[in-house]
Structure 1
């Protein structure tokens, strides 16, 4: 579907849930597997698949974020960005939400809580997946100059006391995408199949990386460092995250069966990666891609540097986990890699201070000033003529 403000707001509202539930496993940590289950080949296949599945939404979502921010600037709309104060306080908010869920699961029926959360994430997941599918359809139809699927356009507007409560524009392909993704939602509710779970996880991660704006690198570093401490404390310091991880049932993780070679798509022993370990580094990597674009050098040095750093961090997490036979909080390894690698690259390229000072607000103001300056001479020349 066309990007609706309601969908953007819902995606932003679920960031806390994505961070809170980074450890949807049966052990401590964000990447885990049940010990002594499956063959070494099956484990290698599962971990390799998790790495690939994590890279896809980061890569695609980062380039989508470039287009989204360009459209917002061209339309004159203000892109809401996380401030440094909000970035510093975010781990505290996430900790409060995590501890709140812990108390709920400890003193109330987890079946009822999971039912409410499952319905919430199901509705959000169907809308998010439909948006992703609609984007793919739109690109496919445009590349082949097919227009009949986009002929019928609709506008849904709900107002109350002259205030827009819902304002959405969509066409035939959006309706088709919503119906198809609703089928995926029904499949997930009935079977809880890991493929349906991953489809929703992909869409959550892509949309979060596309829409969430860090605005500048310093804010991103503050956020990542705060969540670095958050992840270590709640995983190794208490049993809170473990309890929530065991109790929470929602498509906020990517999973792959370690017994895939033996049982195929019906495998039951899963390796898992929380969406927080994809989204949080992903929005930082997307910011570096937008910095590359702002340099206008025709190459994406800092994006690919951070992308490689993320791959290295994931592999390092898995190596440590296999060696120590204990699940690990992935941000413990991802955060240093995703921050240090681009900063070293910036030092070598001579862009360190430019990277630190980069702000998309200042970029927008610069573009507006340049646009204003370019129009004034032409007006003057007309008067002179």
Structure 2
């Protein structure tokens, strides 16, 4: 009976908000990746702005992630300022990428002019682009000054969406390889790293607060007002929600007062969702009969992967509450998302096609290049 009460915390506002936000961000990232791919094809942009992972790159991601995790664990105090600066620049770029479609939509809807205002790095900059840069920079500066968790989440979500759009998976074979490797990676660093390194490396890094460069500047210039406002920062490598969500939390509160979920626990499953969304889109284009097209809508792979993500996330949070210890979310998310997609595709006899991936996009690119 006591165990049931431990799990009931999932019905609290903070838990529900975390679950709904993670599901929405994961699906939104995949949908934005699909639309971004369509946009690139429409514009015949063959500049390879997005990276399609191959087998060696998929294998290197867990290795490089492990090296980065250890580097941060041992040298965090030395590289804290550098991490904050790198995160700030990345956040400006990610925010710009995420906000630009809405600005473009408003320009088209209202017929707004968008003249060029200057040139930078041999590229012309329009008025709307300059406006977006200023808005994105302003949001990042506000985060640096206040360290508020809402701004932290906004930046983290933007980085997640931008990552999923620019790093793609070609087929389920590479996807399964990446997910299985990260599955092992997550389990090791959460469950077994303490035996090797004397501390839970993943949890230690996730809960570290970075030095605030604005606070450093305020100290050097002796600005007491700014010194009081600026606090240590939660880097936007995770989304966080105060456990007392309705009551709110002051910036700079203890990490124990927050529920958190790493960006990787949204971005990696979102890459799978983006892959199946693209596959569903390609299959729907191949259907000629309108009656078959309407019946296909209820059998898209995304409607198996997305609920699977929600189930896996709830299971991870429930086990964490039951055991009162952090859990590697990918331990639950990988089987609950990859499993249904592979099983359903095997039932439909489409596993080979999904496993190897469609080569249509490459052929289309070659044809467009010739044209």
TM-score by length of 1: 0.75
Written as runs of structure 1 = structure 2, the 5 A alignment for 1:86-97 is: 86-97=57-68
Aligned to 2:282: 294
Deviations 1:192-251 (A, max 9, x none): 100110110110011111111111111111001000000000111112223323435311
Aligned to 1:215: 170
Aligned to 1:156: 119
Residue 163 (structure 2) pairs with residue 205 (structure 1): no
Q: What RMSD in Å do the two structures reach over aligned CA positions?
A: 2.7
Instruction: Verify the 8 A CA contact 1:46 1:257 in the aligned structure 2.
Output: yes
Instruction: Verify the 8 A CA contact 2:153 2:238 in the aligned structure 1.
Output: yes
Aligned to 1:19: none
Instruction: Verify the 8 A CA contact 1:42 1:258 in the aligned structure 2.
Output: no
Aligned to 1:173: 128
Structure with bigger RCO (C-alpha 8 Å, 6+ apart): 1
Aligned to 1:344: 343
Q: CA offset at residue 181 of structure 1? A: 2.4
**Using the alignment, how far apart are the partners of 1:175 and 1:95 within structure 2?**
38
Secondary structure of 1:247's match?
Answer: coil
Deviations 1:276-323 (A, max 9, x none): 111111111101111111112553711221111111110111111111
**Using the alignment, how far apart are the partners of 2:265 and 2:369 within structure 1?**
42
Residue 123 (structure 2) pairs with residue 188 (structure 1): no
Deviations 1:62-109 (A, max 9, x none): 22212322344433334531111221232112111211222213xxxx
**Using the alignment, how far apart are the partners of 2:362 and 2:169 within structure 1?**
17
Aligned to 1:11: none
Aligned to 2:321: 322
Q: 2:54 aligns with which of 83, 89, 105?
A: 83
Q: CA offset at residue 126 of structure 1? A: 1.9
Q: 1:136 aligns with which of 97, 102, 111?
A: 102
Aligned to 1:46: 14
**Using the alignment, how far apart are the partners of 1:87 and 1:371 within structure 2?**
28
CA, structure 1 residues 340+120, in 2 after alignment: closer, same or farther (shift >3 Å)? same
TM-score by length of 2: 0.78
Secondary structure of 1:76's match?
Answer: coil
Deviations 1:4-33 (A, max 9, x none): xxxxxxxxxxxxxxxxxxxxxxxxxxxxxx
**Using the alignment, how far apart are the partners of 1:372 and 1:42 within structure 2?**
52
Secondary structure of 2:70's match?
Answer: helix
Q: CA offset at residue 368 of structure 1? A: 5.8
Aligned to 1:363: 360
**Using the alignment, how far apart are the partners of 2:26 and 2:131 within structure 1?**
26
Secondary structure of 1:264's match?
Answer: coil
Deviations 1:146-189 (A, max 9, x none): 122x421356343xxxxxxxx54542222222222222222211
Secondary structure of 1:77's match?
Answer: coil
For structure 2, the 5+ residue unaligned runs are 1-6, 194-198, 211-234, 288-292
Instruction: Verify the 8 A CA contact 1:253 1:274 in the aligned structure 2.
Output: yes
Instruction: Verify the 8 A CA contact 1:131 1:177 in the aligned structure 2.
Output: no
Aligned to 1:68: 36
**Using the alignment, how far apart are the partners of 1:314 and 1:290 within structure 2?**
23
Deviations 1:317-369 (A, max 9, x none): 1111111121211011001111101112212333222211214xx21244368
Aligned to 2:205: 244
Kindly tell me the number of residue pairs found equivalent between the two proteins: 318
Written as runs of structure 1 = structure 2, the 5 A alignment for 1:227-266 is: 227-238=182-193, 239=199, 240-249=201-210, 250-261=235-246, 263-264=247-248, 266=250
Instruction: Verify the 8 A CA contact 1:62 1:283 in the aligned structure 2.
Output: yes
Q: 1:279 aligns with which of 267, 289, 292?
A: 267
**Using the alignment, how far apart are the partners of 1:186 and 1:206 within structure 2?**
20
Q: CA offset at residue 115 of structure 1? A: 1.8
